[in-house]
């Protein structure tokens, strides 16, 4: 596979690709040499010292649901630049190079090869308050999903003793949600910049504090995006799929999942409570747009407007 790639850049001698899993990491030092180390603090600290001693300056990893956080922190503390590799693009890159097989060592080599020929951004370095906010918001999302799952189980007749246990689990999860909401309120109130953003976001009719905290947690860069970037990050940007004379419907894809969901729900609320969104929705429907297409258009527009509002530090003003 690697023989099919273009000539590597000078960065090749200073770069490693790392495939992260729950228990270990596979590190590709070059096209052939791949080593495995445990995903533990001690093993990662030894690895970081080796990389620095060998003159390696850059490591690339894919986001893996949180398993990469320890490696990112340890490598960054050792002075290495840690780049974030897009998982989907990296996989398509492997297929374009003719690499159909998939394993952890192969993935590490693919990650390294991908970085040699495609620019990657460093992993974000959130503040302590931002990290805590994101953790609490995601905990609420998980707890609410568990509550829905348990309530669905309760909907089917079962033993009284089992129902009582389900009720106890649901009550505990609701206590978790309540505690998380209190912690989030305290975090936002204690951070002037975050508090100012929250007030700007909730000044939009139809957007309440629940949506605001998701936007703050999942899009801390809001206010620094271009209009195109805002739509793409929110997963609301339509992508054309034309070929020759064929004109196919555009489709949305990718984006940050939690942010996409929050924007869609905000658009759904806005068409009922926000006169501007209600009129825009009616106009789109009158032009023959399906309901979901119209909602996605409003979600994209809302996110673009919020980005501009935070950038200019101005509350909502009805267009």
Place of tokens 């490696």: 71
pTM: predicted TM-score of the whole model, two decimal places: 0.70
Tens of pLDDT, residues 273-289: 888 888 888 888 888 87
116 and 173 share one domain: no
Choose the final residue of a domain: 122, 139, 154.
122
Q: How far is CA 284 from CA 48, 264, 281, 293, in A?
A: 55, 16, 5, 9
Provide the domain count of the chain. 3
Tens of pLDDT, residues 140-178: 889 989 999 998 888 887 788 888 888 899 999 999 999
Angle between helical axes of 160-190 and 128-154 (0-180°, round to 10): 160
209 and 311 share one domain: yes
287 and 210 share one domain: yes
Rounded to whole angstroms, the Cα distance separating 62 from 64 reads 6
Domain membership flag for residue 165: yes
Domain membership flag for residue 90: yes
Rounded to whole angstroms, the Cα distance separating 62 from 28 reads 13
Domain that holds residue 135: 129-190
86 and 162 share one domain: no
55 and 156 share one domain: no
- Could you tell me the two tokens for 219? 């899009």
90 and 24 share one domain: yes
154 and 172 share one domain: yes
114 and 164 share one domain: no
Pairing mode, if any, of strands 15-20 and 58-61? parallel
Tens of pLDDT, residues 62-118: 887 677 888 888 888 888 888 888 888 888 888 888 888 788 888 888 888 888 888
Q: How far is CA 310 from CA 22, 211, 305, 317, in A?
A: 37, 15, 9, 13
């Amino acid at each position: 596979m690697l023989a099919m790639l273009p000539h590597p850049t000078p960065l090749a001698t200073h770069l490693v690709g790392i495939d992260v899993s729950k228990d270990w990491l596979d590190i590709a030092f070059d096209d052939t040499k791949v080593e495995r180390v445990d995903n533990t603090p001690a093993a990662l600290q030894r690895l970081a010292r080796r990389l620095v001693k060998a003159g390696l300056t850059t490591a690339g990893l894919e986001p893996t649901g949180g398993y990469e956080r320890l490696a990112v922190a340890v490598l960054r503390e050792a002075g290495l630049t840690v780049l974030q590799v897009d998982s989907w693009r990296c996989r398509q890159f492997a297929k374009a190079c003719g690499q159909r097989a998939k394993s952890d060592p192969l993935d590490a080599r693919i990650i390294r090869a991908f970085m040699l020929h495609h620019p990657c951004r460093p992993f974000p370095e959130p503040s302590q308050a931002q990290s805590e906010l994101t953790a609490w918001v995601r905990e609420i999302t998980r707890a609410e999903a568990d509550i829905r799952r348990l309530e669905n189980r309760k909907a089917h007749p079962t033993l009284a003793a089992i129902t009582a246990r389900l009720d106890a689990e649901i009550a505990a999860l609701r206590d978790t949600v309540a505690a998380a909401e209190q912690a989030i309120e305290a975090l936002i109130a204690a951070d002037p910049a975050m508090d100012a953003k929250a007030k700007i976001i909730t000044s939009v009719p139809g957007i309440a504090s629940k949506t605001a905290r998701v936007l703050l947690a999942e899009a801390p860069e809001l206010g620094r995006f271009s209009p195109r970037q805002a739509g793409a990050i929110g997963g609301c940007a339509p992508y054309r799929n034309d070929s020759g004379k064929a004109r196919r419907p555009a489709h949305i894809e990718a984006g940050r999942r939690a942010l996409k969901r929050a924007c869609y729900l905000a658009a759904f609320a806005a068409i009922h409570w926000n006169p501007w969104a209600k009129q825009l929705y009616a106009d789109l429907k009158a032009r023959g747009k399906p309901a979901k297409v119209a909602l996605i258009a409003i979600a994209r527009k809302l996110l673009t407007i919020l980005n501009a509002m935070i950038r200019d530090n101005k509350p909502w003003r009805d267009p």
